[in-house]
Amino acid sequence: MGFNEFNFQESPANAATTSSPSMPVESLTTKQQINQSPGYAYEPPNVDKANLPNVLELVTGEKFVVRGVFGKGGSCTVFRVKDENGTQCAAKLIAERIPEYPTYYELLAHEKIIKSPHTNLISFVVNGMLTDSLPGFNGEIIVTEGLGPSLRNVMRRARLDTNRAYYPSFCTDNIKRIGSQIAKAMAHLETLKIFHLDLKAGNVVFVKPDIRYTIEHNDIQPTIQMGDIGIKVIDFGCSASHWEHWENKKWREYNLLPYGRQK
């Protein structure tokens, strides 16, 4: 896929075709949807499925059935969806906000990774505009492969399991194996001249959604032990490309958090 094949959109989505464009369509709480949708153990708390859309449809015709939510942030919400073949995906909807959240550099990173993929980097599926933009969102959608929980998700769950005030740590062997995969992902981004700029526990996710772990309890700090620890680095929303020596450097200003600015 070439760069100009991406749907870089600046305008809001086309007018909705539903009779009630300001409201989500049929909710997930119907019996049929509940029966077809296994729960996601790491879904954020207080997700109101009655107000989630049933289907996300792009103006280009692709449809994704909503199953739940992977996560929410200040600039987006990532929905857990399935495509028309039943494959699990992640659909990122961009929130309406000032200043506007730019997706150009995120899509540019995905375009480079499509040309040179890596086993430890998330895979792109499609992007575009929704036929019916949801309230609070600008209509833009970025769809990637669906993966499992993040390192942070697992550490939070393990903390609840141990009833401690602080996070458990992964065992030494797991840390080595996870760290090695992260290093390989970052090395590959370097060859593609991409700065990730937002590498953290929440942006490193396990490949499988149904991961299993055990906890070794001790008086100092409990440790998490896992067998299958294939991971991928996700979220290129803050990424940037390397500058060539002849380019004028361009700086972007962000105001992603309510309590401060990042430049």
Domain ranges of the chain: 3-145, 151-262
Residues in the chain: 263
Name the amino acid, one letter, at 129.
Answer: M
When comparing pLDDT for 186 and 246, which is higher? 186
- 151-185: buried (b, 16+ CB within 10 Å) or exposed (e) per residue? bbbbbbbbbeebeeeebbebbeebeebbeebbeeb
Tens-digit pLDDT profile for residues 146-195: 999 999 999 999 999 998 888 999 999 999 999 999 999 999 999 999 99
pTM: 0.79
Cβ(189)–Cβ(199) below 8 Å: no
Task: Quote the pLDDT of residue 254.
Answer: 55
What is the C-alpha separation between 216 and 223, in angstroms, rounded? Answer: 5
* 148 token code pair: 């499992």
Reported as type and span, the H/E element at residue 65 is strand 63-72
* 128 token code pair: 């575009």
Give yes or no for residue 105 having a pLDDT over 50. Answer: yes
To the nearest 10°, report the CA torsion of 129, 134, 136, 140.
-10
Task: Please state which CATH class domain 3-145 belongs to.
Answer: alpha beta
**Average pLDDT rounded to a whole number, residues 80-97:** 95
Tens-digit pLDDT profile for residues 183-205: 999 999 999 999 999 999 999 99
Task: Quote the pLDDT of residue 46.
Answer: 84
What is the C-alpha separation between 169 and 155, in angstroms, rounded? Answer: 7
Task: Quote the pLDDT of residue 150.
Answer: 96
Task: Quote the pLDDT of residue 258.
Answer: 53
Cβ(105)–Cβ(125) below 8 Å: no
Task: Quote the pLDDT of residue 47.
Answer: 86
Give yes or no for residue 207 having a pLDDT over 60. Answer: yes
pLDDT, averaged across the chain: 83
**Average pLDDT rounded to a whole number, residues 210-233:** 92
Helix spans in 50-192 (H): 104-115, 151-162, 172-191
**Average pLDDT rounded to a whole number, residues 37-48:** 79
According to DSSP, the β-strands at 137-145 and 124-129 are antiparallel
Task: Quote the pLDDT of residue 91.
Answer: 98
What is the C-alpha separation between 83 and 195, in angstroms, rounded? Answer: 30
Residue 16 CB neighbours (<10 A): 18
Domain 151-262 has CATH 1.20.58.220: no
